[in-house]
A and B are shown apart, each in its own frame.
Chain A
Amino acid sequence: MKTKEFKQSIDKALKNANMAGALGRFSEAYVISRAKAFEGIDFEELRTRIAEIKSYATEHLSELAEEFKKNAEAKGAKVFRTEDPEKVKEYILKLAQERGVKKIVKSKSMASEEIHLNPYLKNAGIEVNETDLGEWIIQLAGQKPSHMVLPAIHLKKEEVAEIFSKEVNERLSSDIPRLVKVARNELRSKFLQADMGITGANIAVAETGSIVIIENEGNARLVTSLPKIHVALIGLEKLVPHFSNISPILTALPKSATGQMFTSYVSIISGQIPNTDGSMKELHIILMDNKRTAMANDPIFKEALQCIRCASCLNVCPVFRLVGGHVFGDVYTGGIGTILTAWFDELKKSEEIQGLCIQCGRCKEVCPGKIDIPELIVELRRRLAKEKGLSFTQKAIFSVVNNRRLFHSILRKASSLQKPFSKEGFIRHLPMFLKELTDFRSLPAIADVPFRDRFKEIRQPKTTKKAAFYAGCLIDFAYPEMAEAVVKILNRAGIGIIFPDEQTCCGAPARYSGAFDVAANNAIDNIKALLKEEVDYVISACPTCTAALKYEFITTLKSQGKLEIILDAKRLAEKTFDLSSLLKKLIDGDKLRFNSRFEPLKITYHDSCHLKRTLHVFKEPRELLQKSGCIIIEMFESDVCCGMGGSYSLKFPEVSKPILQRKLKNIKDTGVDTVVMDCPGCVMQIRGGFDKEHSSIKVKHIAQILLESI
């Protein structure tokens, strides 16, 4: 359950129209500029190289740190390596005091924010000025950054004018170039007077002892050139072995961060350099561990050290663009921030924010470090559940899901219990305490007769091939008509369907909540049920279930140490198909043919998260739809999540709602009156949304549309 404070911070963020507007516009522009920046570059190849470099570095952190130290010190730098953030602060303060430092200028360093260096130095009477424009604005406003790369994106120019006016004691207008000039003038004198400069670094090269600083404004060049002492505070994960490793990281970082081809400035500093008075600069490099080594030793979370802090995962995240960075409560924000906070701070700190991830997988598609962020978040949930236990409600729900008979009998009972609320297959209103669930979308009524019962009445032709149908809860109990369509289509292709009765929930809800034990039991039940009879295919019309059958059963069982059943899980995975992929195969093999439609049907297609990004299926349904006589009018952001995310829409209805509303708008903007998708969960969300709006737009599962051309 969310605490009141957390809920309030989400509500506050959602109400902040400035932030949502700015982040929303940026997220849209970003996708385009990013694509443009990477034009002609093989991104997969590039990120594979980066992931290799970084994962090698992760495996050799300590050696690389020593090599770096040796080489940097040979060039006159002093290198201090420590696990303890307190020691970092003490080191810098002591140095400052010994050298009589009164004023410090800083360029952006997330490591320094991570350990709250500024307030510490300030308390000791030292003036510290951030010089990156965004960071300076945030510092003056006494706020926290809302984005890792764009710290002040939540502020409007009028607010910046207000903040600057106070600083310079002059009424300033909100003209942006003018505000930038004011910042230039104000900070110029600070650069010239500072006794010490503090920077971070984006890369640290072990073989040469070099540090690489990437920036656009030129402030890091001034911070490293003008004051006589330079302190570079660097997280251990910035280490790479070779000088040539700079190239792929530098190629990806600006493009991923802001869609820029390259940043204005890159400074590669290798050892001491001359000061303005001809003396040699004191260069102190602090390699900060702060749990990075512990993380590197963790077989699962070590992957997160491949992060190059580009923030593209935030830029594409449908949740982040609504709530921004403040709700994450720390310097590292968004999905990756949740993971870093859990480690650099403590696991407990991620307890609430981990829930914000809807598991849509958009971030992992663009991550130049090739990090499977949603999977790491699930792992966080697993550990949280293990350490702290699940909430009472979750426990109650999963103890039911864990018991197939009980679960199914409850679903059947619910069908009669819902009677007072359901009408035309929808539940539009629920009593007060459940009101949030039907606030922005109607819910589907549970079918009077679930598919498992209806199936027994279906008469099938004689066929040579056989497929086991895996329904999944939603199709079985809410949308049996989708399953009936699947049976008819496959029968036409000469495939007979069996329905193994012992099948149960695919375990996705439990798994995504971290209840791996329940998910493992679900997996075992299903593997047994689906392999009982020899079949040619196992087919599912729900991408989330397919992803579970194909991939997640195996990983869940492995993590629970249930190795005796892994081979069976793999056998099941090999036979499992999502509907579109199987139909495409049948069409290509001439086993199935579509009749032409009397008139082409104009539709738009919504890409469901698991289908597109876990199963990598997005061409197949489009091709099927076109072959069956549909004309597809593509919607904007067709592959952005609809906000359903399984139980997410129940846990965070306030976030699910605006995500859905964007989706509905994008569908409406195409001007067509039918939207098609492969996932019954998306159908539930989108159909429910349109029903609430009294819209006449039809929301169809692909099986229902294809059936019309059979």
Chain B
Amino acid sequence: MNINSLFELFKTKAEAINAEVYRFATKREALGFIIDICNKEGISDKPYSYALWANCPFLKDLDKEEISKRLPGLKYEVTKPLAAHAKIGISQMDWAIANTGTLVSDSTQIEQRLVSTLPEIHVAVVQTSQLVPDLASLLSQIKPDRASFIALITGPSRTADIERILTIGVHGPERLVIVFVDEN
């Protein structure tokens, strides 16, 4: 399967389980989109309105300060109290599994886990080239010797424990926004 069909498959599967899926050619466009989301969600420098961005390759050659200026509520420092008071968590995922719409991350670093568990919204950036067809091909690539906490995320947090009615957003994020970036 080529990358476009892998992406299409991923999108269909992920949207079926309430994730939001976008794809951009360049990092610039992706960044613009993330800033838009933050603005729409009213991110500001007040508790419960922060956005936390966990350190990741995507941020590497971007001007972090420049972004912060455009988004006063955005923080690159990720701590437990800040994450508990954040509305949006942003992180980069390492792989995406097409046939289940799953994101995969080496979440050994606590920052990765904090931004993807505690805030209401998780914005997940992932390189389009990191798409793999299925779980078996993923497992053949990852090495638990190097990653102590491998997290597979498939859609937002959900429950059906009351009367079997599907309800989104229990303990984890209630929105999962997935941003694919083609540019390496």
User: CB within 8 Å of B: which residues of A?
Assistant: 22, 25-26, 29, 75, 131-134, 137, 150-153, 155-157, 160, 176-177, 179-180, 183-184, 187-188, 191-192, 205, 208, 210, 216-219, 221-222, 224-226, 243-244, 246-247, 250-251, 258, 261-278
C-alpha spacing A485/B144, complex, angstroms? 66
Which of B109, B144, B151, B172 lies in contact with A274, CB distance below 8 A?
Answer: B109
CB distance B147 to A217 under 8 Å? no
Q: Which of B2-10, B26-34, B67-75, B132-140 forms contacts with chain A?
A: B132-140
B161 contacts partner chain A, Cβ-Cβ < 8 Å: yes
B165 contacts partner chain A, Cβ-Cβ < 8 Å: yes
Residue of B149, B153, B162 with most chain A CB atoms under a 10 A cut-off: B162
C-alpha spacing A273/B135, complex, angstroms? 23
Which of A157, A225, A261, A267 lies in contact with B150, CB distance below 8 A?
Answer: A267
Number of interface residues of B (CB under 8 A): 48
Q: Using a CB-CB cutoff of 8 Å, which residues 101-157 of chain B contact chain A? A: 101-102, 108-110, 113-114, 116-118, 135-136, 139-140, 144-145, 147-157
In this complex, what residue of A is CB-closest to B165?
Answer: A176
Which of A25, A150, A247, A261 lies in contact with B161, CB distance below 8 A?
Answer: A150
In this complex, what residue of B is CB-closest to A246?
Answer: B139
CB distance B163 to A247 under 8 Å? no
B56 contacts partner chain A, Cβ-Cβ < 8 Å: no
CB distance B148 to A272 under 8 Å? yes
C-alpha spacing A517/B153, complex, angstroms? 55
22 contacts between A and B (CB under 8 A): A133-B161, A153-B164, A155-B162, A184-B170, A184-B171, A188-B171, A208-B144, A208-B145, A217-B159, A218-B117, A222-B171, A244-B136, A251-B135, A258-B160, A262-B17, A264-B154, A264-B155, A264-B158, A268-B144, A271-B148, A275-B110, A278-B110
CB distance B152 to A133 under 8 Å? no
CB distance A263 to B154 under 8 Å? yes
Which of B84, B118, B157, B171 lies in contact with A131, CB distance below 8 A?
Answer: B171
B169 contacts partner chain A, Cβ-Cβ < 8 Å: yes
CB distance A176 to B172 under 8 Å? no
Which of B113, B117, B145, B154 lies in contact with A262, CB distance below 8 A?
Answer: B154
Which of B101, B149, B164 lies in contact with A268, CB distance below 8 A?
Answer: B149
In this complex, what residue of B is CB-closest to A245?
Answer: B139
Which of B108, B117, B165 lies in contact with A222, CB distance below 8 A?
Answer: B117
B167 contacts partner chain A, Cβ-Cβ < 8 Å: yes
Known: A180-B169, A208-B144. A216 touches B158 (CB 8 A): yes
In this complex, what residue of A is CB-closest to B19?
Answer: A264
C-alpha spacing A210/B116, complex, angstroms? 21
CB distance B162 to A180 under 8 Å? yes
Nearest-neighbour CB distance to chain A for B76, whole angstroms, equals 16
CB distance B17 to A133 under 8 Å? no
CB distance B144 to A219 under 8 Å? no
CB distance B136 to A221 under 8 Å? no
- Name the B residues within 8 Å of A261 (CB-CB): 13, 16-17, 100-101, 154
CB distance B164 to A218 under 8 Å? no
Q: Using a CB-CB cutoff of 8 Å, which residues 74-90 of chain B contact chain A? A: 79-80, 84
Known: A261-B100, A264-B155, A273-B110. A218 touches B170 (CB 8 A): yes
CB distance B80 to A151 under 8 Å? no
- Name the A residues within 8 Å of B155 (CB-CB): 264
C-alpha spacing A265/B158, complex, angstroms? 10
C-alpha spacing A370/B73, complex, angstroms? 54
In this complex, what residue of A is CB-closest to B136?
Answer: A247
